[in-house]
Amino acid sequence: MNKLMHQTFNWSTSNGEMEDKFSEFDSILSKSLIKVTTVISNPADFWCHLSSHHAGLFSVTDINGSVKQSRRSAKDLARSESDAFHLVYSGLPWLFVNHLGHELPVPAGTLVLIDTRKQYISSLPEGFLNRTVTLPREWLQTWIPEPEKIIELNLCHLSGWGKVIASYIENLSPQYLEKNDFQSSLLLDQLGVMLSFLYNEVVCENASPGHFSHDRHYQRIVDSLQQRHTNILLKAEEIAHEVGMSIRNLHRVMANQGTSYGQVLMNFRAQTALRMLKADKYDELSISEIARRAGFVDTSHFSRVCKKHFGLSPGQIRKNRDSHR
């Protein structure tokens, strides 16, 4: 990614006199994060602190304040140009209600991914503290093919990677980003990699919630494959040696989970290739080079795997991406 312009903004009801601090907050929130309809019981008791660090289309925003309800209504959607996902880390428990009326209690220290193009309600308690990472839709889809499959879920409950990402974001405050000279592209790539690991574990074939296993041997095999799947010469014997078991036991463990070493390996390679095909920064690479980097031996095999997993050839995936710009 190119260098992004960095800007940090801080606002608080404690800074000076305000004739209508609630209305000012509503305006600040709309400009710095999202357009919502905020409902409070008593404007006189309203207080809030907001801090936001922006780097291009990406941002990290902290909001701490009094009890309130935020509604993302159809009217708010019509007046908003935002086309992003919000990855929200919760400092205190709160309640999320989606557009169908389904409730999701969000415990403290957990993560939820929200699609800002959908209606929802957030019920926030006194003293709430939420950290929101704004992720543009186009960027997120280069790492996760179908983000809608992991929205409105407690990501820390679904995956160990959710806990890793939560810990990462817990330390990624606007103040830290302002104070330290960091490369936003590096931080975003790190976050993208972790989100893709979470997605593979939760959504992809043999790693969905229905197939998730607490068998530690199986998880060690899958973790090793995640880390090494782009190695074009990778053999099952190497993975077996790394996790400390015989090749026979490795295949037995995979079979007990209703899958195989080869199937899980192809799943990881296919997802890596898909991300590269959809990302602008790999446009200069040929289809055969993307295949090689994802771990495929030859282009014809790569094409067959893409058609099986995604219903399209590698060239069609890239062409479809370009046509939707």
Position 19 scores a pLDDT of: 63
Q: What tokens were used for 185?
A: 């592209």
Mark out the alpha helices in 144-282 (DSSP H runs): 155-158, 160-170, 174-179, 184-202, 216-228, 236-243, 247-256, 261-278
Instruction: List the one residue out of 128, 120, 136 whose CA is nearest residue 47.
Output: 128
Please tell me the predicted confidence (pLDDT) of residue 215: 63
Share of the chain above pLDDT 70, in %: 90
Question: Greater confidence, 293 or 21?
Answer: 293
Dihedral sign, Cα of residue 255, residue 257, residue 259, residue 262: negative
Q: What integer pLDDT is reported at residue 237 of this predicted model? A: 94
Residue-level pLDDT at 105: 87
Task: Examine the pLDDT at 316 and tell me if it is beyond 70.
Answer: yes
Query: In whole angstroms, what separates CA 111 from the centre of its chain?
Result: 10
Residue 124 confidence (pLDDT): 93
For residue 233, pLDDT over 80 is answered with yes
Q: Is the pLDDT of residue 23 over 50?
A: yes
Question: What band does 258 get if pLDDT is binned at 50, 70 and 90?
Answer: confident
Q: What is the pLDDT of residues 32-87, one digit of tens each?
A: 889 999 998 888 888 999 999 988 778 999 999 999 999 999 999 998 877 899 99
Mean pLDDT rounded to a whole number for the chain: 86
Q: Is pTM beyond 0.75 here?
A: no
pLDDT at residue 207, rounded to an integer: 42
Q: What is the pLDDT at residue 211?
A: 40
Structure confidence by residue, pLDDT tens digits, 160-200: 889 999 999 998 899 888 887 666 677 888 899 899 888 88
Average pLDDT over residues 112-130: 94
Q: What is the pLDDT of residue 48?
A: 93
Give 4's pLDDT tier (boundaries 50, 70, 90): very low
Distances (CA, A) of 102 to 106, 121, 140, 153, 319: 13, 10, 25, 11, 37
d(CA 153, CA 113): 7
Measure the CA–CA gap between 175 and 306, rounded to whole angstroms: 43
Scored b (16 or more CB within 10 A) or e, 292-315 reads bbbbbeebeebbebbeebbebebe
Higher-pLDDT residue of 182 and 305 is 305
In this structure, the dihedral spanned by the alpha carbons of residues 271, 275, 276 and 282, taken in order and rounded to 10 degrees, is -170
What pLDDT band is residue 17 in, cutting at 50, 70 and 90? low
